[in-house]
Amino acid sequence: MSRIFRDRYDAGRQLAEHLTSYANDPTLLALGLPRGGVPVAFEVARALHAPLDVLLVRKLGVPGQQELAMGAIASGGVRILNEAVVTGLQIPPARIEEVAAHEQAELARREHQFRDARPWPDLHGRTVMLIDDGLATGATMHAAAIAVRRQEPARLIVAVPVAAPETCAALRAVVDEIVCAITPERFHAVGLWYDDFGQTTDDKVRELLARAAHELGPPVAGSPATQVKTIVGQPQAAEEASR
- Round to whole Å and give the CA distance between 49 and 240: 26
Residues listed for the chain = 243
* pLDDT for position 101: 94
Flag whether pLDDT at 239 surpasses 60.
no
Q: Of 9, 32, 39, 204, which Cα lies nearest the Cα of 129?
A: 32
Reported as a single tens digit per residue, the pLDDT across 75-99 is 877 788 888 889 999 999 999 999 9
Query: What domains are there in the chain, each with its CATH number?
Result: 8-55+122-225 (3.40.50.2020), 59-114 (3.30.1310)
Closest CA relative to residue 222, chosen from 110, 122, 150: 122
Strand partners, 57: 74
pLDDT, position 158: 98
pLDDT value at position 104? 92
What is the average pLDDT value for the chain, to the nearest integer?
A: 87
Kindly report whether the global pTM for this prediction surpasses the value 0.75.
Answer: yes
* pLDDT tops 60 at residue 228: no
Q: Which residues contact 218 (CB under 8 A, 6 or more apart)?
A: 51, 118
Task: State the pLDDT at residue 2.
Answer: 56
Assess contact for 25 and 127: CB atoms under 8 A.
Answer: yes
The Cα–Cα gap between 15 and 179 comes to 8
- Over residues 208-214, mean pLDDT: 93
The answer to whether 23 and 49 are in contact (CB under 8 A) is yes
